[in-house]
Amino acid sequence: MIAASTDGRDAPLDVDDGFEDTEPSRGAQLVRRFAGRAFAIATTLLGLLGLTFAMGRLLPNDPVIAITGPEVSKEVYDRVFLELGLDRPVWEQFLTYVGKALRGDFGVSTTTGQKVVTDLLMVFPATFELAIVALLVGVGLGVPLGIIAAVKRGTIIDLIARLIGLAGHSIPSFWLALMALLLFYAKLDWFAASGRVDVFYEGLVTPVTGFLLLDSALSRNWDVFWNALNHIVLPGTILGYYSVAYISRMTRSFMLEQLSQEYVITAQAKGLLPRQVIWRHAFKNIRVQLLTIIALTFGGLLDGAVLIETVFAWPGVGQYLTRGIQMNDINIVMGSVLMIGVLFLVINLVSDALYRILDPRTR
């Protein structure tokens, strides 16, 4: 509405139209975001539980026979069948399984005679330690290789980097591990063949963190430390090679995109040194993207360690899972797969949180 002012000019009339600002407050946005994240986590976890439960029911394995053995009377078979709750409806069995899994109860292993969660806590540090070494190899070689390939685009260096990436996605890991054993152990005798440490050094270090390298360094038992390092270098390098291939390819792609931006051309026109343009400007803008790639790579290393651990007799989750498959121990299989899936979920959450911390635009 327009009202006449005292000086003869028209002035707008302040009228309350009854409408209020409906933009949600900061607190409401945080609550909504937290609720959405919690729902996504719960849905993913429920789907993972459903997948492992279905896997346990679809595998050609009788859980009763796995416990009692094939030579068992019908009375004993029926009693164990009822104790396991296999006579109940499938949906009720699933709810029981979910309840136990949320409490950390994955059943008892028929292979070791212990609770699966106890076994997993014993073997997981070995896998985690191996994955960390592999990730250090992947990041330490993959990031510089990708940057150099992007800067030297179209040269022989770029071609070599792309061939490394192609080979990493093409060569089977178990074959490469066998060839590495043949060359570096059987022929050259540079590295140890299997296990985390020689038999002579077993039990000399009291487990504190579960990571043998760290525990031996903390106890200043350098003989065990160097022996453990000699055992982990070869499997860690072979496992890390596949992360080198992936990280170098993604780093090259990210850097090529940044090197074509106008701010890089401006920095070059100002007379900055090439290393300043690359590391201070271009690399700074791909760090957040690389963080996500590295986090996903670490999850893949935990999963991909199964074959490497089997070849090198590494006492981790991979070898434990392989033994469970060979012995038809369904509790080991379900517990191991569920643990790896939960680790993927946790790694994604951590990487997403770090992404928001490092990049204010995503907050």
Query: Token pair for residue 11?
Result: 């002035």
Q: How far, in whole angstroms, is CA 40 from its chain's centroid? A: 18
Supply φ then ψ for residue 3, to 5 degrees: -120, 150
**Rounded Cα distance, 32 and 38, in Å:** 10
Q: How far, in whole angstroms, is CA 299 from its chain's centroid? A: 1
**Rounded Cα distance, 105 and 14, in Å:** 67
SS3 360: helix
Looking at the domain 116-362, which fold is it? Answer: MetI-like fold (1.10.3720)
pLDDT the model gives residue 6: 47
Q: How far is CA 339 from CA 49, 70, 93, 185, 302, in A?
A: 10, 30, 20, 33, 10
Intervals of the chain under pLDDT 50: 1-8, 11-16, 18-21
H or E stretch covering 212:
helix 212-218
Domain boundaries, the chain: 29-102, 116-362
pLDDT the model gives residue 15: 47
Residue 56 makes CB contacts below 8 A (sequence gap 6+) with: 63, 330, 333, 334
